Amino acid sequence: MSQPAEVVSPGISQLFHYINGERVTGNSGRFGDIFNPSQGVKSAEVPLASKSEVEAAIAVAEQAFPGWAATSVLHRSRVMTKFVRLLYEHQHELAELVSREHGKVIEDALGSVLRGIEVAEFACGAPHQLKGEFSDNVARGMDTYSMRKPLGVIAGITPFNFPAMIPLWMTAMAIVSGNTVILKPSEKDPSCPLRMAELFVEAGGPAGVFNVVNGDKEAVDTLLHDERIKAVSFVGSTAIAQYVYATATANGKRCQAMGGAKNHMLILPDADLEDVANALMGAAYGSAGERCMAISVGVCIGDEVADRLIEILKPRVEALRIGPSLDTGLEMGPLVTKEHRQKVMGYIQMAEDEGSKLVVDGRDFVCEGHEDGYFLGGSLIDQVKSDMQSYQEEIFGPVLQIMRSASFDEGMALATDHPYGNGTSIFTKNGAAARTFADRVEVGMVGINVPIPVPLAFHSFGGWKSSAFGDHNLYGMEALRFYTKVKTVTSRWQEKGLDTEFSMPVLK
């Protein structure tokens, strides 16, 4: 059972770091505030680690590395299997931690926990996945084989919007490959990752393998500059992803850094618009739009499609069931913080000022009984043009922008030409159009009659353009490649002695 965090004043608990299998009190004297977004009140403080605290955690992870790397892959997989079992047993507790600090509704929080567990389940297959290659008899008496070796200490730096799923994407794959990890979760909702690290140790994971250090830029910079960190997995906004990628690689580390998004859905005239509306409601407004794979732009091919779709969507957006995140049966909770709510409201104003049409303005929404919560209603915006700043930038809130394109090619070009390239989808009954779209659009993840095409754990996740920096996607076999390096051995065992060879072999 988890110990409750220390209460420092009525209703406010103090969180900790989790290093070497223990809760560690922060000693930097700096704290970040955590809020309950449904109530708009501070609920906890999280210590923000100093450089020396991060360095001490890296030393622990470095010390744990040789032992864990030398453990048989079968044993690592068994620990992962027990971890998965505990994650399932505690899924509701984890979902509640997510929902309380992030604000997404409890059913959605539970789904996000499950999407994370699926990656940990995939990681249990490491004995098969980490098998190397073998070629026998590449020359007389000579064989060549390759193996995948872990890198050392890995840093995982994660965003606020998926505090269970994204930490699991990184840690499960890095750990099962034989690495040790320092996870630096978002300072806005760190309770779930802290609890998961405890569960890993409860599952038999050695102390020092899965560490959580809380912090802000100081902690991240320490991880990026310390030579004992061999690889960095980052997910967050594009500006920080670019900075993390540039700094980590300049310091000789492997880095995969996922950034922001603006995901387009192309709606062709032959699509069933009821299906499209059903798909769009969840994809645009689920999790209050705080998903990097949320659909934020609906591109209608032709005015008629746009007019009919807006007619269906408008009453549904106005009737979204919005309320405190732990209530059941709701469609949307609050946004994560007051500042983020303010930022989203600023984009809605910008869209109006730029000349697009507010069909539904979510800014006036008030959640009765929770007037201080960080709530916004859903917004639906029509007549959006490609040169508008509110279109070019990521809003990351419950806002759906509708664009009208004259043709399929023009609509596809919007997704291709946009600076972001995380996800996109097409709704149509025309197989050839769907195939052309999937083939040609310059975006990393594509859905065909699927609004949010997040690949399952045995594929991998990654965008293109300003949505991702680095060569490898997250999870799946891509992650095993990212978290390991290949060693190739050529051996000769033969009865006859060796001849002297000055030249490279030639054809005889």
CA–CA dist 193, 166 (Å, integer): 10
Region of residue 141 (phi > 0: left; psi between -120 and 50: alpha; otherwise: beta):
left
Location of structure tokens 């609004």: 451
Is the CB of 76 or the CB of 418 nearer to ligand NAD? 418
> H/E/C letters for each residue in 284-342?
HHHHHHCCCCCEEEEEEECHHHHHHHHHHHHHHHHCCCECCCCCCCCCECCCCCHHHHH
Residue placing its CB nearer to ligand NAD in the complex, 235 or 415 = 235
CA distance 170 to 477: 12
Q: Are 503 and 481 in contact (CB under 8 A)?
A: no
Q: Which is nearer to ligand NAD, 157 or 196 (CB)?
A: 157
Residue number with CB closer to ligand NAD (202 or 218): 218
Least distance from ligand NAD to the Cβ atom of residue 174, Å: 16
Instruction: Considering the complex, state which of residue 401 and residue 428 has its C-beta at the smaller distance from ligand NAD.
Output: 401
The tokens describing 194, both together, are: 């802290």
Q: How far is the CB of 495 from ligand NAD (least distance, A)?
A: 56
Dihedral (CA of 494, 495, 499, 505) sign = negative
Pairing of strands 263-267, 423-427: parallel
* Min dist. Cβ of residue 490 to ligand NAD (A): 39
CB of 397 to ligand NAD, least distance (A): 11
Q: Are strands 229-235 and 254-258 parallel, antiparallel or unpaired?
A: parallel
Question: Smallest distance from the beta carbon of 505 to ligand NAD, in angstroms?
Answer: 47
* Nearest to ligand NAD of 160, 437 (CB atom): 160
8 A C-beta contact, residue 348 and residue 381: yes
Min separation Cβ 289 and ligand NAD, Å: 10
How far apart, in whole angstroms, are the C-alpha atoms of residue 390 and residue 400? 11
- How far from the centroid of its chain's Cα atoms is residue 305's Cα? 33
Nearest approach, Cβ of 500 to ligand NAD (angstroms)? 56
Question: Tokens standing for 347?
Answer: 């984009």
Residue 277: φ, ψ to 5°: -65, -45
**Which residues form the interface with ligand NAD (CB under 6 A)?**
157-162, 184, 186-187, 216-217, 220, 235-237, 240, 258-261, 292, 394, 396, 422, 463, 467
Cα→Cα distances 313→306, 379, 391, 474, Å: 10, 11, 20, 34
The least distance separating ligand NAD from the CB of residue 158, rounded to whole angstroms, comes to 6
Residue with token string 């609906």: 298
Sign of CA dihedral 98, 99, 102, 108: positive
290: β partners: none
Nearer to ligand NAD (CB atom), residue 256 or residue 416:
256
Least distance in angstroms from the C-beta of 416 to ligand NAD: 18
396 or 408: whose CB is closer to ligand NAD?
A: 396
Indicate if 292 belongs to the active site: yes
Give the strand pairing for 295-301 and 399-405.
Answer: parallel
Handedness of CA 94, 99, 100, 105 (dihedral sign): negative
Q: Count of CB atoms within 10 A of residue 237's CB?
A: 16
Q: Which two tokens stand for residue 98?
A: 């997510």
248 versus 268: smaller Cβ distance to ligand NAD: 248
Cα torsion through 88, 90, 95, 97, rounded to 10: -150
Q: At 213, list the tokens.
A: 């250090």
Q: Which residue is nearest to ligand NAD (CB)?
A: 236
Q: Which of 255, 292, 300, 367 is catalytic?
A: 292
Catalytic residues: 292
